[in-house]
């Protein structure tokens, strides 16, 4: 049963790993490791609540510009996370997918990402989308490029292109748009995450640094979501009629 007060799709910008570590005089790498633990907890709690889809921003196309050492450590962490976490996720019925441009990752990492997707492809309890080398503008551009190619080959009349068709060419083309967008770490911005897909998404900004994020804070975000009236451009009365229908 879908409950209107439970978001079916939650997107999260995991922010604050570095500050969490620096506050403790630890290396930023230890902050990212703590962030991975927070992701595991959050995914488990979300699945327990019945959230169908969780999409997390793990590594943006802009994160490559961080100091080389931090990027290297992050890649090592992805690699070991793929080795250690995927089996457990598979056992819990999680379908793992990566969104973003994989080409920039080392071949071994790309191979493990593909293997994780293949292993878990048949699972349908919850879906975990990991945005890696992802950017919202990149996503819109790659969709535009695919569609322009179709038009050039005579397979598509540009006049027939509509929002639904465009959406299907985006990275999450087969997934409903996020209902709830959470950003931790106190910053209130979208940072080039799911730009097109967040047109009517409800936002929740958490002051907690990502490694401190927990079940109680996810519950608070969901409770806040439950208080919102989603109008999709309609009047309040129209939206309430539609929700009852
Ligand atoms: C988010 O934490 C994780 C990644 C971008 C990989 P940050 O590393 O951005 O942490 P802060 O913002 O510096 O605290
Ligand atoms: Mg940050």
Give pLDDT tens digits for 41-71.
999 999 999 999 999 999 999 999 999 999 9
Flag whether 114 is in a domain.
yes
- In this structure, the strands spanning 9-13 and 180-183 are parallel
Flag whether 34 is in a domain.
yes
Least Cα distance to 150 among 169, 171, 134 occurs for 169
Flag whether 169 is in a domain.
no
The 10s digit of each residue's pLDDT in 5-49 is: 999 999 999 999 999 999 999 999 999 999 999 999 999 999 999
Structurally, the chain folds into a number of domains equal to 1
Read off the pLDDT of each residue in 220-237 and give the average, rounded to a whole number: 94
Q: What is the pLDDT of residue 245?
A: 84
Percentage of the chain exceeding pLDDT 70: 99
**Residue 225's domain is classified under what CATH number?**
3.40.1180.10
Flag whether 143 is in a domain.
no
Sign of the dihedral through C-alpha 86, 87, 89, 90: positive
What distance in angstroms lies between residue 104's CA and the mean position of ligand 1's atoms? 20
**Is the per-residue pLDDT at 4 higher than 80?**
no
Q: What is the pLDDT of residue 1?
A: 43
What distance in angstroms lies between residue 5's CA and the mean position of ligand 2's atoms? 29
Q: What is the pLDDT of residue 230?
A: 87
> For the chain, what is the radius of gyration of the CA atoms?
19
Q: Ligand 1: does its nearest atom lie under 6 Å from the Cβ of 63?
A: yes
Q: What is the pLDDT of residue 68?
A: 96
Q: What are phi and psi of 132, to 5 degrees?
A: -135, 125
Mean pLDDT across the chain, nearest whole number?
96
pLDDT band at residue 2 using 50, 70 and 90 as cut-offs: low
Residue nearest to atom 13 of ligand 1 (CA): 18
Neighbouring-strand partners of residue 181? 11, 203
Residues noted as catalytic: 15, 63
Residue nearest to atom 12 of ligand 1 (CA): 16
Flag whether 17 is in a domain.
yes
Q: What is the pLDDT of residue 3?
A: 63
Flag whether 163 is in a domain.
no
Domain enclosing residue 69, as ranges = 9-136+177-244
């Amino acid at each position: 049963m879908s409950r209107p007060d439970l978001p079916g799709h939650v997107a999260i910008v995991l922010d604050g790993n570095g500050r969490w570590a620096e506050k403790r005089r630890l290396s930023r790498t230890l902050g990212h490791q703590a962030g991975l633990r927070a992701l595991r907890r959050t995914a488990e709690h979300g699945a327990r609540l019945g959230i169908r889809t969780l999409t997390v921003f793990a590594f943006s196309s802009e994160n490559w510009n961080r100091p080389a050492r931090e990027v290297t450590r992050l890649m090592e962490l992805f690699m070991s996370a793929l080795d250690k976490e995927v089996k457990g996720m598979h056992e819990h019925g999680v379908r793992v997918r990566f969104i973003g441009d994989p080409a920039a990752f080392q071949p071994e990492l790309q191979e493990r990402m593909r293997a994780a997707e293949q292993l878990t492809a048949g699972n349908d309890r919850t879906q975990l989308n990991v945005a890696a080398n992802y950017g919202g503008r990149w996503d819109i551009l790659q969709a535009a490029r695919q569609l322009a190619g179709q038009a050039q080959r005579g397979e598509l009349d540009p006049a027939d292109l509509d929002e639904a068709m465009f959406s299907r060419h985006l990275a999450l083309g087969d997934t409903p748009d996020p209902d709830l967008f959470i950003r931790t770490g106190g910053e209130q911005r979208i940072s080039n995450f799911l730009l097109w897909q967040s047109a009517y998404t409800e936002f929740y900004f958490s002051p907690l640094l990502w490694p401190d994020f927990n079940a109680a804070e996810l519950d608070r975000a969901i409770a806040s979501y439950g208080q919102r009236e989603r109008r999709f451009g309609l009047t309040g009365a129209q939206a309430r009629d539609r929700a009852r229908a």
